[in-house]
Amino acid sequence: MIRTLQDREKSALPAGRADFLLAAAGPVTPAPGPLTLSVEALTPFAVMRILDLGLTSESETYGTVTFGIDPQGAFNAKASFEKGREFGRYYKPAGDYVILGESVSPEAADAAALLKPLPGMGLFEQLGRTADGFLMFAAGFMLEACRRFPVVLGGGSRMAAALLIANRVVRRDGLPMDPRKLTLCTAEGIAETERSVTLSLLGQLDFRPRTLYVELPSYDKGESYAGAALAYGTMQGLTIAQITARAERGA
């Protein structure tokens, strides 16, 4: 069952089919996790793509969108943000909305420390020290994409951090954004372990996006977007038991 994070009321994702985009950096073999692959096998997404944000190798199974990011190159927060904006501006969904997931190497930035004041630094200068390529790309993507179609952010505190980055840029530069089309969706286990950090980040926003979780106490921490994939599956008529059983025997 899908519920809201704040008050645990029943809720839902947007209607229709979704594109599943997995933004990946660092892993040698980028691929969706078993729960997401189970959903894909039982009720396919409109399309499934890997977004290469600095991979050491491309996926041989799924279509890959590359952005010319050198995995060994220096991190440029502004450049990563603008790549996300451009992709969000021109991406044409095959389905009715987009689910954005994340697969990054373990040295991902700490969401809780993202925008703690660093005296004398501008916004992007600070983010160049505290953020990472995924957070900046996701923030730019959602800022532009939500003006055109609904976006579901698959994950917990790091997706909330990306929302906060987008909000800070919008506040500073007066850019148009439609947060009514944004939904954050995670799994129950992640929602509980990251609850305080996620709510703290969301509390700093100038808007209140829908924030949901799927009832799934046991979860794979390496598949932070599983909640969004599971929610999509249930919206297509599957049960959590069907999805997890398929994952256990191999999608």
Structural domain spans, the chain: 2-9+18-249
- Separation of alpha carbons 119 and 231, rounded Å: 41
pTM for the whole thing? 0.95
Which distant-in-sequence residues (6+ apart) come within 8 Å of 105 by Cβ? Answer: 25, 26, 27
Q: How many CB atoms lie within 10 A of CB 129?
A: 12
- Model pLDDT for residues 104-141, shown as the tens digit of each residue: 776 677 887 888 878 889 999 999 999 999 999 999 99
Where are the alpha helices (H) located in 47-116, listed in sequence order?
77-90
Residue position matching structure tokens 């840029």: 169
- Model pLDDT for residues 2-52, shown as the tens digit of each residue: 999 888 999 999 999 999 999 998 786 678 999 999 999 999 999 999 999
What whole-number percentage of the chain has pLDDT above 70? 97
Q: Does domain 2-9+18-249 have CATH number 3.40.50.10210?
A: yes
